[in-house]
Structure 1
Amino acid sequence: MVLGALTVAGAEMNAPAHCWLPIADPVILAVADGLGGHAAGEIASEHAVHRMAESGPQLTGPEAVDLLLKHIDEEIKEHAGLHAEFSGMGTTVAGMLLTVDGNYWFNVGDSRTYRLQDSRLIQLSEDDSPALPPSEDGRPVTTNFITQSLGGSGNTAMVPHVGEDPAPGPGAWLMCSDGLSDLVTLEEMEQIIAESSSDDAAVYNLWKAAMDASGRDNISIMLVRRG
């Protein structure tokens, strides 16, 4: 995870951290979910969040975010090319850039960014995964296949999804890896957030719901509010 100039690796979701960040300079906030085996995925995701943290204050808008993500993609692929054991390493990413002038979302892969509007979650990010038919029981339909990531295998050019949140100024956003969104329905996430006594409690309760639903994948969750 990246929170402005701060990075967090191996965080325990059962003990959420709470941070306050000023927005005098641009602030970038994101979750990353590594791919390509534990060691390789961890290196890829840590590289991505460290690069975003160090570059965040210079990011003026969506074009700068797009360029940064393309640079990170090239750097991860270059590292994998130099180390055979890390072939195919990559990471998904989803987050927000908050500036004095606007709020911008971005993602690559199947990690997600939602805007929290009243008690509803509205997905802003675009999943880089194939469309699947709905399930009969209403549970999320999941796949381990994604069409692109930062780094990863394949020679197709990586194209980040970057856009401006149509609701400017104050707002709230949820960012998460597919370890949450694959196991907990949108309606369940909305209900958990609405019924939680605080943002810290909401993050914990979302993590607990994913764990109760098998917790079979990495679970990264960030709940952000801009006042």
Structure 2
Amino acid sequence: MGALTVASANMTVPVRCTVSLAEPVILAVADGLGGHAAGEIASEHAVHRMAEMSPRLVGPDDVDVLLKNIDEEIKEHATQHAEFSGMGTTVAGILLNADGNFWFNVGDSRTYRLEGNRLRQLSQDDSPPLPPSEDGKPVTTNFITQSLGGSGATAMSPHVGRDPEPDPGAWLMCSDGLSDLVSLEDMERIIAEAADDEAAVYALWRAAMDATGRDNISILLARRN
């Protein structure tokens, strides 16, 4: 099945690795909610469970079930620890396996497909519609309509779909700490001008930091070879 190169950053120094595609692989970012400690526990639990289960995932139905199970696990943990009431996390990513590439998300973290120098959003934001910007800057909100865990009363329903484009593919996954602060056009320009994926990830992080960096900034850029 080939290999996958991944550049990621949630600190100041990007990390690059190569991942074998001999078995299914999930790549994802998660952005915790409910205070620093609670959000960190929720997001770590989500990514650890996805990593644990990824070799067993065949398609979108498996991803849907896994995300619903993680949602229940986080909520159960919160009911057992009052200090973590309302803990939750967003998630966005992609499952790569022999049957295709499947994107998924819950919340407002995003998955984009990189097509040449253009980014096409695959994920579906779980946030209310916003008025158009009057100054050309991204319009943002801290409110989301669902997450893994969290305090929402309605049942969580993940967004899962097949990436319609053939391999090889390239994808950008990020928390709203990037997409809320850096416009799509600027993200496309930064990636196009970067010498390599590590430089692109660092430049994206730097642009978000220069635009106040007021939220968690998690970025993952992956290419299927």
TM-score normalised over the length of structure 2: 0.95
TM-superposition CA deviations, 1:76-117 (whole Å, max 9, x none) = 000001111100000000000000120100000000000000
Deviations 1:12-39 (A, max 9, x none): 5321110101111001000000000000
Name the SS of the counterpart of 1:200 in structure 2: helix
Corresponding residue for 1:188?
186
| 1:177 match | 175
Cα deviation 1:12-67 (Å, max 9, x = unaligned)? 53211101011110010000000000000000000000000000000101000000
Q: In structure 2, which of residues 48, 55, 58 is the aligned counterpart of residue 57 of structure 1? A: 55
Contact 2:10 2:218 in 1 (8 A): no
Task: Determine the structure 1 residue equivalent to 2:106.
Answer: 108
- Alignment gaps of 5+ in structure 2: none
Unaligned runs of 5+ in 1: none
Equivalent of 1:202 in 190, 196, 200: 200
Question: Percent identity over the alignment?
Answer: 77
Q: Which amino acid aligns with 2:203?
A: N
* TM superposition shift of 1:168: 2.4
Query: 1:154, 1:63 → 2: CA distance?
Result: 23
Question: Counterpart amino acid of 2:120?
Answer: I
State the distance in 2 between where 1:157 and 1:64 align. Answer: 18
> 5 Å matches for 1:42-53?
42-53=40-51
How many residue pairs get matched? 219
Q: Partner of 2:27: helix, strand, or coil?
A: strand
Q: Secondary structure of the equivalent of 2:17? A: coil
- 1:224 matched to which residue of 2? 222
CA RMSD of aligned residues (A): 1.2
Structure-to-structure mapping, 1:58-207, within 5 angstroms: 58-207=56-205
**Structure 1 residues 12 and 153, CA gap change in structure 2 (3 angstroms):** closer
Q: Which has the higher contact order (CA 8 A, sep 6+)?
A: 2
Amino acid at match of 1:205: A
TM-score w.r.t. the length of structure 1 is 0.95
Aligned amino acid, residue 153 of structure 1:
S
Bigger share in strand: 2
